[in-house]
Structure 1
Amino acid sequence: MKKKLFSTILLSCFVAVCVAAAVFADVNGKWNGTISTPDGNALDVSYNFKADGEKLTGTVSSQMGEISLDNGKIKGDDFSFSVNVSGTDYPHKGKAYADSCAMDIDFGGSSSHFVLKRAK
């Protein structure tokens, strides 16, 4: 009887861990996408994220160069950070999914929504 109960509890814990792993997406790694800027230009970007607990660090790269992420925070699947370009901060907010990240960037009152795909 005890063996059967122990096996049932162990199996239940295993299933719970698998479900939790599937629910929480992993933001770590390289992600690619295209941002539509307020002036109508398209900017190809690559984000390289590294999550450490609730701290998010990394870089963003484009044809204009590479910039570090500032004030990065992550909680579950939601994350935020800013990048500083020529003295101007551009806040980002995002949500991670298994194979994509939905992102919003604030261009000083004008917002742009874009999607990043995990780099292969």
Structure 2
Amino acid sequence: MKRKLLTTAFLVCCVAICMAAAFLNIAGTWTGNLKMTDGNTIPLSYTFKQDGDKVTGMATSPQGEVAIESGKIAGDVITFSVNVQGMDIPHSGKIYADSIAMDVTVGDDKLHSKLLKKAN
């Protein structure tokens, strides 16, 4: 009986986690800073639009605004790319309840944005 109860509780928790991930919505504007290899930081802003697991929108930096391409969400992971002057810059991040930790690859440099916070 105890084993049956534990198994049922485990299955209920798994379903709840899957349901929460399925309804994860990041639509809106998220802001943060990207730390460069030289120690400087660049302010970033991402405006995400979400349709199920597909993500589109715009990324904004002091250099201007570019479209978010090939955006996807799988569970609590977001991946997308932006094209800056002919160079694809892949992004990957982990989505938390109130923030996103973002990794950006520029050439051979792996950069990290500590936490993006939702602005709206």
1:112 aligns with 2:111: yes
1:73 CA displacement = 1.1
C-alpha distance in 2 between matches for 1:25 and 1:113: 22
Q: Tell me the TM-score normalized by structure 1.
A: 0.76
Larger Rg: 1
Partner of 1:5: none
1:31-78 alpha-carbon deviations (Å, 9 max, x no partner): 000011234331101100111112110101122111100111111221
State the percentage of identical aligned residues. Answer: 47
Q: Tell me the TM-score normalized by structure 2.
A: 0.76
C-alpha distance in 1 between matches for 2:35 and 2:103: 11
**Count of equivalent residues:** 106
List gaps (5 residues or longer) in structure 1: 1-12
Change in 2 beyond 3 A, CA 1:101/1:70: same
Alignment of 1:66-105 (within 5 A): 66-105=65-104
C-alpha distance in 1 between matches for 2:105 and 2:64: 20
Partner of 1:59: 58
C-alpha distance in 1 between matches for 2:98 and 2:21: 12
C-alpha distance in 2 between matches for 1:57 and 1:116: 17
C-alpha distance in 2 between matches for 1:107 and 1:39: 13
Instruction: Give the SS at the match of 1:69.
Output: strand
| Contact 1:96–1:102, Cα closer than 8 Å, also in 2 | yes
C-alpha distance in 2 between matches for 1:93 and 1:22: 17
| Contact 1:24–1:77, Cα closer than 8 Å, also in 2 | no
